[in-house]
Structure 1
Amino acid sequence: MERKPFFYDITLRDGNQALKKPWNLEEKEKIFNTLIDLNVDGIEIGFPHSSNMDFESTKYLASLAPKNIVVSGLARTKKEDIDDCNKAICQAHKPRIHTFVTLSPFHLKYVLNKTYGEVSKNAIEAVKYARSILKKDGEIEFSVEHFGDCSENLDEVIRTLKEIVNAGATIINLPNTVERYRPKHIINMVEKVYNALPKEIMISVHNHNDLGMATATTVESYFVGATQLECCLNGLGERCGNTNFYEVAVALYNNGVKTDLNYNKFYETAIMISEMSKVEIPEKSPLIGKEALAHRSGIHQDGAIKTKDMQMGAYRPIKPSLIGRENSEQIGFTSQSGKTAIFDIISGANYPITMQEAIRIAPYFKQKAELVGELNLDEMIKLYFDTVFNVEGPFRLIDFNELTKDNYKLMFEYNKKLYEIESTGNGPVDACLLALKQAGFEQKLLHYEQKALDEDKLGSGAYAMSVIYFEDKNKKQIIARAFDTSTKKANVKAIFNGLNILNLV
């Protein structure tokens, strides 16, 4: 689709008016400059007639607007509102007067207490007046407040909109001011208006999120003809908020719709807006929530880890870096998690682990998580050390000493029976294995390695780590580890850890 969406941000007006403490001029300027950095197409900067403070802030921000961005002010269909709006925005390079009134039968009867004819005539005259006082290259936007409640008189509304277009409006906004119905109901109404009006008229949508479907309605409205998408940073706005800016932008991006937005600034912007508005981002909020990219189910974790470096992830909608979230895909461990999470978290903390070891120790992690809930990194590392470097079982090493060169004494228990054996071998590993053979516990050593543990943290003070590879009765390789300040003791501890692992197989 060649038609490019027009992102019209309403954070400074609709978002601001819903805050417990509205922003001051300095804060508004910071957000205004942020929107410029995001490269939005239009910004609604205020409601000039609502207060002197809003008039002055709108006027000031309009003076800062770059040539490529439309700036608008909101006005009711009243002459005094339109006059103040024009005065506030007239110095902008691309000014717009946005005037509105309801045409909903319910609101005409119970809120305005006026007839459709009265309000329709007033709307047409207001647009004519706005067009007459705004400079030639300025724009007029008209909104049918509560358009979502106009299904019963939609044909009448369309006839009025045609007259409003003839009066000078070039943008027709169709707000779902209170979300009551399913998206398809609103989308059908938007499409009908789009098909009825001249194609040079820009159709706009402005959806509130009372039932949590504003993003869906906005995105699908684009595909039936709406070009201007009125959105709010962080989904701020009255009641449950307005359409979330980031969600709409990313949904369109995923569907191949090109925009000029700077997506990589989304996440930092969301954090800033949350701090400035004092409105916390829900942890499960799409894209920007703390938990938006967290995985705890073992199946999900397995897929997420296998595809974490790919553009498309098994269990995420985007590559996090698209919106400026670097390394944000989180793997948490709960009783629902599995071996892949253990492997990823422990290896990510720069500790050695194999998938075989992760499989073996997973039951201990699950058991712990069942008692306390999600395990934090410190808890996982402690459990890793307890289950990898200190494997419990029938074998217990008591002592291993070198008596003379290549002559050693091994003391250990098996099922609480004490063994004391002397042996001579080619080094401590060979001597220990020979002593075990004499005691009736012969094991087939495949390979062993010496490494440093915590070298990146302790440097020269790192522990000696021994890695032993045994073969079990099924001829499968078993890995055992141990560490100590003494290389000799690390070797023997690893052998005994291996013996206990073999008894678990």
Structure 2
Amino acid sequence: MNYISKNIYYDFIEHKPLDIEICDVTLRDGEQTPGTAFTTDEKIKLALKLDEIGVETIEAGFPIVSNNEKETIKTIVDLDLNAQICCLSRSKKEDVDAALECDVDIVSIFVATSDIHLKYKYHSSYEEMKQTALETLEYAKSHGIIVRFAAEDATRTSITRLKDIFLEAESRGADYVSIADTIGILTPATTKYLVTEIKKAIKKSHLCIHCHDDLGMATANTITAAEAGAKQLHTTVNGIGERCGNASLEEVLLALRIEHNIDRYKLPPLRNLSRLVEAYSGVKVAKNKSVVGENAFAHESGIHVAAILEDPRTYEAYPPELVGAKRCFILGKHTGRKALLGILQHRGYHDLTHEQLCLLVDIIKECRERKQELTANRVDELVKKVKKV
């Protein structure tokens, strides 16, 4: 069954067609997860999967970090993917040179704009940092490369200062300007305000949004930014990244699909990609993680299972096959007779009496209340046991 469920208030809200693109930063910002380091082969495999899904841009790394990082980025560029390849650069000409050596499509030049970063990180004034960053931008543009100009810690920077530096960057040829919620303090309401104000100011440059998840709102903020006019949305697979991570690729893509009918991205590879990132990063995916978690399509409640057996739309927003997953029913404390019957029939048991079924439900609930594991073999043993009674 193919279905996408929208909330009933969907038609009460104005939905303008979104002009968006995805820049996935798993290979760079995702790798900044404490304790994570991808090998070249791992980055290649992830880049190929991201390209299969159809993201428009892949941020492949930070070439000034090491020679190996630079060579890995070059290797990804040589894959000749459909996605554009981007890399990170400080506001330094040597960083831009490293990006140019990699032959990437886009260089992302970042500059601190908040008072706290300027004072304690750079020990510099805003005007000094702005001048250095703009000179670096001009240097990059003189080499014909696409430039994204990012304001680090933008969400602790005054709106007046952000408009000032973005307009200066735009006048010097910045193709994109980026709002970085570096410490993850935006909410959907403040995101809408900030993006709307910046969109009023800039005329030619595309606006990017880069959200961290310190308040658990990175995905919501990213979608809100898109609805307010941001074009490039930054994501990581499984939401990995510094501290609490970034906006999750799989969540953003599903929200775009369900709420805005954006269906150009290939979603079935998401589950496999998630497992690759889990293995390569060492960061376990929570069982209840939306879209790709083990429990995303797992059901135990007897009431729920019985309804799903009639029509999956009762308790699922979209079919598991859409994201490369499978539905499963769990036997446990909340299992009911009708649900158990459906599960057992699926396993080939069709001849249990009503009394045997009731007895089996009681045994299963007792097992789970004692925290005993119910493997497939254990269930088979229990069925044989009640059939002998």
Name the TM-score, length of structure 2 as normaliser. 0.89
Q: Which of 342, 349, 352 in structure 2 is aligned with 1:351?
A: 349
**Corresponding residue number in structure 2 for 1:258:** 262
The answer to whether the 8 Å contact 1:266/1:323 transfers is yes
The residue aligned with 2:207 is 203
1:231-380 equivalence runs, <5 A: 231-308=235-312, 313-325=313-325, 328-353=326-351, 356=354, 360-361=358-359, 362-372=361-371, 375-380=374-379
Residue of structure 2 in register with 1:385 after alignment: 384
- Tell me the SS of whatever aligns to 2:314: coil
Match of 1:100 among 92, 95, 110: 110
Provide the rounded CA distance (Å) in 1 between the counterparts of 2:48 and 2:114.
Answer: 36
Structure 1 residues 213 and 373 mapped into 2: Cα distance closer, same or farther (>3 Å)?
Answer: farther
Spell out, residue by residue over 1:457-492, the C-alpha distance to the aligned partner (whole angstroms, 9 max, x if none): xxxxxxxxxxxxxxxxxxxxxxxxxxxxxxxxxxxx
Query: Aligned ranges for residues 12-31 of structure 1 at < 5 Å?
Result: 12-18=27-33, 20-31=35-46
Which residue does 1:77 correspond to in 2? 91
Q: Against the structure 1 CA distance between its residues 353 and 123, is the aligned structure 2 distance closer, same or farther, given a 3 Å change threshold?
A: farther
Using the alignment, how far apart are the partners of 2:202 and 2:352 within structure 1? Answer: 65
- Separation in 2, partners of 1:24, 1:382: 45
Distance (Å, rounded) in 2 between the aligned partners of 1:175 and 1:355: 62
Following superposition, which runs of at least 4 residues in structure 1 exceed 4 angstroms of deviation? 353-359
Q: Does the 8 Å contact 2:268/2:321 carry over to 1?
A: yes
Larger Rg: 1
Paired letter, 1:20: G
User: Contact between 2:222 and 2:233, CA under 8 Å: does it hold in 1?
Assistant: yes
Provide Cα deviations, 1:437-460, integer angstroms capped at 9, x if missing partner: xxxxxxxxxxxxxxxxxxxxxxxx
Counterpart-to-counterpart distance in 2, 1:273 and 1:224: 30
CA distance in 1, matches of 2:317, 2:353: 27
Equivalent residues in 2 for 1:141-180 (5 A)? 141-150=148-157, 153-180=158-185
Gaps of 5+ in 2: 1-15
Note if contact 1:190-1:224 (Cα within 8 Å) is conserved in structure 2.
yes
Does residue 20 of structure 2 align to residue 5 of structure 1? yes
What's the RMSD between the two structures over aligned residues?
Answer: 2.1
Partners in 2 of 1:371 and 1:47 — Cα distance? 51
Which of the pair has the greater relative contact order for Cα pairs under 8 Å at 6+ separation?
Answer: 2
Measure, in 2, the Cα distance between the counterparts of 1:257 and 1:223.
13
- Superposed displacement of residue 21, structure 1: 4.7
Cα deviation digits, residues 127-174 of structure 1 (max 9, x gap): 1121112x2xx3110111111222xx1122112211110111011111
% identical equivalent positions: 28
1:4/1:258 contact within 8 Å kept: no
Structure 1 distance, partners of 2:338, 2:20, is 41
**Structure 2: distance between partners of 1:49 and 1:379:** 55
**How many angstroms does 1:19 deviate by?**
5.6
Is 2:237–2:277's contact at 8 Å kept on the other side of the alignment? Answer: yes
Deviations 1:368-419 (A, max 9, x none): 43233563333333333333x234xxxxxxxxxxxxxxxxxxxxxxxxxxxx
Size of the alignment, in residue pairs?
A: 373
Preserved CA contact (<8 Å) 1:339 1:358: no
Shift of 1:306: 2.1
Give the secondary-structure state (helix, strand or coil) at the position aligned to 2:88: strand
CA contact (8 A) 2:17 2:260 kept: no
Partner of 1:112: 122
Give the Cα–Cα distance (whole angstroms) in 2 for the partners of residues 194 and 209 of structure 1: 23
Residue 188 of structure 2 is aligned to residue 183 of structure 1: yes
Residues 347/49 of structure 1: CA separation in 2 closer, same or farther (3 Å cut): same
Residues 186 and 217, structure 1, Cα contact 8 Å, conserved in 2: yes
In the TM superposition, residue 78 of structure 1 has moved relative to its aligned partner by 1.0
**Alignment correspondent of 2:11:** none
Structure 1 residues without counterparts, runs of 5 or longer: 392-505
Alpha-carbon contact 1:4-1:257 (below 8 Å) kept: no
Deviation at 1:359, TM superposition (A): 6.3
Q: Is the 8 Å Cα contact of residues 149 and 174 (structure 2) preserved in structure 1?
A: yes
Retained in 2: the 8 A contact 1:8–1:40?
Answer: yes
Q: Distance in 1 between matches of 2:186 and 2:372?
A: 39
User: Of 217, 228, 234, which residue of structure 2 is paired with 1:224?
Assistant: 228
The 1:307–1:71 alpha-carbon spacing in structure 2 relative to 1, beyond 3 Å, is same
Letter in structure 1 aligned against 2:257? Y
Query: How much has 1:300 moved relative to structure 2?
Result: 2.2
Distance (whole Å) between structure 1 residues aligned to residue 258 and residue 269 of structure 2: 17
Greater alpha carbon shift after TM alignment, 98-107 vs 25-34: 25-34
In structure 1, distance between residues paired with 2:130 and 2:195: 19
Q: Distance in 2 between matches of 1:233 and 1:374?
A: 31
